[in-house]
Structures are given as C-alpha cells and as structure tokens.
Structure 1
Amino acid sequence: MFNSLKIEFEENEEVIAVIRKHPICLAKPIFVLIFFLVLISFFLKFFLASLAGFIILLVILCILLGYSLSHFLLWYFDIFLVTNQRLIDIDQKGIFRKEISETSLDKIQDVTYEVNGIINTIFGLGSVKVQNAGSKSVIEIQSTRNPRAIQELISSLERVSEQSKEKEMSASELVSYIKKLDKEPLENKNGNSKEEEKE
C-alpha cells in the first residue's frame, strides 16, 4: 500500500498507525447511489424496451459507478501516517492530485483535538491539529475516530522523541510505551484496530 503512495521512508523508520476519516464520510455517495438505483428500478422496463434505452441505462450506471468509486478512492487514500520518526499527512484532493505534508516528532509544538456537533459526539468523531514548531503550519486530521486517543499517541511520541534519539527505539518499543496510557484502540498499519485483530 505504502509503495503505491510513493512515500520514501527513512532508515529504521516504521509505521506505527494509519489513520483515516471515519467511513461515515461515505454516507452521502452511498445514499446517492442507492437513491438512483431505486429510481432506475421504476423505469427499468422503459430502459430495456429499446436499444437506445439500454444504452442510456448503461451510461447512467457507468456515471454512478464512477461517482461512487471516485469518492471511495478519495477516502481510502486520504490518510495520516504516524511513524516512529515523523507524522505524514496525505490529503487526496482528486483522483490524480494529492498534497503531502509532514513534520518530524521533535518539531511538534502542540497537539489538540476537537469534537463538535451532535453527530460527531454520537459517533465519537473529531479533528486533531498538530502545530509545527517554528512555523504557522498546522497538520489537521478531520472526521476521525478516537481523536483523543490520536492526540495522546502523538503527544506520547513527541515526549519520547528525545529519548529515542539517545537510545534507538523500534516501533514495537514505542507502542509498548504508549500502551501504558489507557486509551481507545487505534488503527494499525494494516488498517485494523487492535481489538479487531484479536478477533
């Protein structure tokens, strides 16, 4: 997966967590797809009555498929990587356009999280902002699950970054350290939560 993103990792750099927006962000395109499929079903006899109607049906289905697939790909490749050396934010702006920003752990100045609105509160969604020291740039993760856990993870990594310089720490050692914090599970580098892995 990471090869397809064309990310060059540093020596001894290991991915600790892969964070995506919550799948609820796909609710709108899914609703649109279902709505038009139901609508098409009412006129199915009309579309199948002639060759022209059948061609129109195929065109509509191709448009719906392209619409749904594009939204899924934008969601899937819009990710936030946490490694034992840095944070990498990949914003997928379009099918063929993306923006990548990063900051090393020792340059993190502040990490905050927000949960706004009823829907976000119900589903436990929020945003996490990482302030880069020495600049006004901010890396933001939006509509993600467990924003508090992510904030604690990044803060923990920032606190031990100096220690990791003095004594080289692997990703597993960092995770063991972070486990001392009682927090909710995050997605690992395979995209599954630790609770899901146990199952």
Structure 2
Amino acid sequence: MPAFTLSQNEQIILMARRHWFFVAIAMLKPIILAVLPWLTAFALAFLNLSPANEQAAALLFWYFAWLFWFLCFGWGVLIWVDWYLDLWILTNQKIIDIQQMGLFKRLVMTYGINNIQGVAIKTGGPLAAFFKYGDAEIKISGQANAVVFREIPNATLVQDKILQAHQEYLKTLGTNPRI
C-alpha cells in the first residue's frame, strides 16, 4: 500500500532525505561495536589467556560473537531503513512529509502548497558548510509549528524549488504570488 497518492495532474518536483552524512555517523556505532569480538579474541591470544577447556571456550566465544554480529547487523539495517524511508516530497500541489518510526509505524502528513506562507533556511557550523546541508523550515498557514525538512542536502536549492512551485501554483489559480 503506497504511503501517499498523487492526483491526476500532480507531478513530483523534488524528493529529499536527510544528508548521507547522518546515516554514516549513525552507522559508526554498530560498526565499531562489531569489531569488539575481534579485539577481544586478539587480546586473549596476545595475553596468552587460555581456559582449562580451550576448545569449548573458543566455541562458546565465537557462538556469542556471531550472535553479537547478527545484532549489530540488525541495528545497522534499522538505522538505514529509518533513514531511507524518512522522506520529504514536493509536488506541484502539495508537500508530503513521511516519517518512519521503527519498522512498522509510519506517519504521513500532507500540506497544500497554496498554504505556504514562507520558507526559511537554517545552516550552522563548519560541518554544515563543508557537507552543504541545512534545515528548510516551511511556515504553513493554520499550523502552529513549521514543517521542517531536517538536515537535507542543498537546502537553498530546496527552498528555491518550494518557492517556485508555490508561485507556479498561484499562477494556475490566477492569483498574484504572496511570497
């Protein structure tokens, strides 16, 4: 079942996810933890620590190491799925905000493009400048909080596309653009 449907004359203008840098940083945790069994095995071999029943201990150690690696791999998959399925979509008629919350829970919010009151871009810090990411905050009429595209690549390009789509939509209605 699709998360959203497009109307007959609706076209996707832009699809955005969080910058790849953030999924890479999040993936470092399970990757670093996955190295721990190898480090433990090398430390035990280097220190010449061997239990009385060495073969049984080694078998038990590697059994738990494989189990640990499986859990680290699963954690990495969850991180990637959450990143991949969190999506912001701009069409010529609406903005769709899809948030994946775990494996089986998804929140899909849709906002009409005619309700846009303004778009602000926030970037900060040397990492944001180097990797060219930022937040696009979209003020929607009737909403207390702004819709935020968090940590997206090329935030200024996204801002331009949103404003351009808003102006094109207002032109089709025969109204003067407000922004």
Q: TM-score higher than 0.5 here?
A: yes
| Paired position in structure 1 for 2:18 | 21
Conserved 8 A contact 2:95-2:113 = yes
Structure 2: how far apart are the matches of 1:32 and 1:113?
30
* Cα distance, 1:44 vs structure 2: 4.2
Contact in 1 for aligned 2:3/2:108 (Cα 8 Å): no
Residue 154 (structure 2) pairs with residue 146 (structure 1): yes
Query: What displacement does 1:145 show?
Result: 0.8
Is 2:96 the counterpart of 1:88?
yes
Q: Aligned equivalents of 1:29 and 1:153: distance in 2?
A: 29
The Cα of 1:162 is off from its aligned counterpart by 1.9
Larger Rg: 2
5 Å-filtered alignment, 1:66-77, equals 66-77=74-85
Unaligned ranges ≥5, structure 2: 45-53, 175-179
TM-score by length of 1: 0.74
- Tell me which of 27, 32, 35 is aligned to 2:32: 35
Bigger CA drift: 28-37 or 123-132? Answer: 28-37
Shift of 1:54: 2.7
Deviations 1:97-148 (A, max 9, x none): 2222221111111111110122112211100011111332421001111111
- Give distance in 2, aligned partners of 1:37 and 1:137: 40
Identify which range, 104-113 or 44-53, moves more after superposition. Answer: 44-53
Aligned 8 A contact 2:114 2:169 in 1: yes
Q: Residue 120 of structure 1 aligns with which residue? A: 128
Aligned equivalent of 2:140: 132
1:78 matched to 2:86: yes
- Percent pairwise identity: 21
- Cα distance in 2, alignment partners of residues 11 and 159 from structure 1: 20
Partner of 2:50: none
CA distance in 2, matches of 1:155, 1:8: 22
Kindly provide the amino acid, as one letter, of the partner of residue 96 in structure 1. Answer: F
Q: 2:165 aligns with which of 157, 165, 171?
A: 157
For residues 86 and 142 of structure 2, what CA distance do their matches in structure 1 show?
26
Q: Which amino acid aligns with 2:29?
A: V
Q: In the alignment, which residue of structure 1 is the partner of 2:69?
A: 61
Q: CA deviation at 1:69?
A: 0.5
**Structure 1 stretches of 5 or more lacking a match?**
167-199
Q: Which runs of 4+ in 1 moved over 4 A?
A: 44-49
- Cα distance change, pair 67–11 in 1 and its aligned pair in 2 (3 A): same
Query: Could you say what secondary structure the match of 1:142 adopts?
Result: strand
Looking at structure 1, the residues matched to 109 and 83 of structure 2 have their Cα atoms a distance apart, in angstroms, of 17
